[in-house]
Amino acid sequence: MTPSSRIRAAAGLTVAALLAACTQPPASTSPAQVTAPQPQPTPDTVMSDTGNLQEVVEVPPEPPRKQPLSPETRAMYAATEDNGLQVPAIEDKYLSEDKKRQLVDYYAPFEPGTIIVDPGAKRLYHLQGDDTAMRYTVAVGAAGREFSGEARIPYQRDWPTWTPTQSMIEREPDVYTQFEDGMEGGLDNPLGARALYLHQGGEDTLYRIHGTRSPWSIGKAVSSGCIRLFNQDVIHLADQVSSGTRVIVLSAAETGKYTRPPSDIADGGQSPAASPASGTPDIAGMAEQTLDALPPEPG
């Protein structure tokens, strides 16, 4: 095992439970057309002392810190209580002044309250008006199918449940049958503290903006199908979002769009990508492959 290997406990689930996209639609809605799931290799696993499988995840090292963390950043990601649950603090090694949520200049020509996801830059922008936005760092999909376009958020859930797909239950009934009615939300739930559900034309797109139990993943290309934030960030975002909020997901070719004033671009400048993507972003990947983003079901 290399020094960069990290072992993540699957909390009673096999690794296959961590390798499922957000593909289970709510019972009350009709799913949008999606690509059929395709089998993928299973990561290496080891058995823990408690008898649970653990996933061995190769995590790239964090880049060198350009500036020390400010007390304000540490406070922003400190432990907090939410709905009776103690949300752990984000460790310093997963934070940076660039990665923290912050108000930035952003020149998108849409109404305040709109959410813009830039998967190539690993950013989510919540428009505030006056050419500004609250910027969040996110984890998105690795190379694969790409989704771009618009959706709406009809509802959100605090500490949402997840439910395995029928194909998962059929493939490994010993693992998933116990969760066929859903696993209640909590600190071990892959969807984290909040889930915002994206619909197109009244149909569930099967994509979620949600929290995570894996803070090391934020800013990386690890999840297929979902848009993942630190729990502290998704709580903050969800508090600002109302039913019907518009969501725009940029294409790979649009990475970095709206980060420069229109006058700069009119003068021949290019809107740069905020950071190079690790492969083609995959917001809409519907295969049952993620590191820990499992399908939710509204409760």
> Cα(22)–Cα(151) distance, rounded to whole angstroms?
16
> Cα(132)–Cα(106) distance, rounded to whole angstroms?
5
Is 210 marked active-site? Answer: yes
Question: Strands 115-118 and 245-249: what pairing?
Answer: parallel
Which residues have CB under 8 Å from 219's CB, separation 6+? 99, 122, 137, 138, 139
From the list 22, 126, 210, 236, the catalytic residue is: 210
Is 226 marked active-site? Answer: yes
> Cα(297)–Cα(166) distance, rounded to whole angstroms?
13
From the list 22, 126, 226, 236, the catalytic residue is: 226
> Cα(96)–Cα(196) distance, rounded to whole angstroms?
25
Q: Is the dihedral of CA 48, 52, 219, 136 positive or negative?
A: negative
- Which residues face 126 on adjacent strands? 115, 134
Q: Which residues are catalytic?
A: 210, 226
